[in-house]
Amino acid sequence: MSDTYIPGTCNLGKVEVRSRQVVALVGFVISLILAIGLIASSAPQASGLTLFAPLIIFSVGFIQSRKKFCLAYGLAGTFNLGKLGQISKVANPEDKAADRKTALLIMAQATALALVITGAITLLLL
């Protein structure tokens, strides 16, 4: 794992990555419990759409932890490679632009992942 800020590639240190993994796990567990409940109760198909919220939490946390890149930090022009809350500012405008591009890509990927999983589980409710 890199311990160096790399514009558009890495803006998180080990502690921050670990916190994203915890977020992903929480989103996954909530999604799993909700999905099991919906399937077991023969809920109406449209109720499967309620899975999107916890699945977006899972997806964002998962993708951020895998890429070692925080979308919020990328949009804000910051990074953190140290302790939680020890945020540094990105000075170079080109680096900020690269970070914003990566942040938007992560949001798009997370949204797509959450939509695909939501759709798949919703189809199980037929």
The pairs formed by 47-53 with CB atoms below 8 angstroms and a separation of 24 or more are: 47/125, 48/118, 48/121, 48/122, 48/123, 48/124, 48/125, 49/118, 49/122, 51/117, 51/118, 51/121, 51/122, 52/114, 52/115, 52/118
pLDDT in tens, 30-62: 999 999 999 999 999 999 999 999 999 999 999
pLDDT in tens, 95-126: 999 999 999 999 999 999 999 999 999 998 87
pLDDT-derived band at 2 (thresholds 50, 70, 90) equals low
Q: Is 107 inside any structural domain?
A: yes
CA distance to 54, 104, 123, per residue, from 46 (Å): 16, 28, 9
pLDDT-derived band at 85 (thresholds 50, 70, 90) equals confident
Q: Is 75 inside any structural domain?
A: yes
According to the model, what pLDDT value does residue 126 have?
Answer: 79
Q: Is 4 inside any structural domain?
A: no
Q: Is 5 inside any structural domain?
A: no
Q: Is 6 inside any structural domain?
A: no
Domain ranges, residue 83: 14-124
Q: Is 115 inside any structural domain?
A: yes
pLDDT-derived band at 1 (thresholds 50, 70, 90) equals low
Q: Is 8 inside any structural domain?
A: no
How many separate domains does the chain show?
Answer: 1
The answer to whether residues 63 and 79 touch, using CB atoms and an 8 Å cutoff, is no
Q: Is 76 inside any structural domain?
A: yes
SS3 state of residue 78: strand
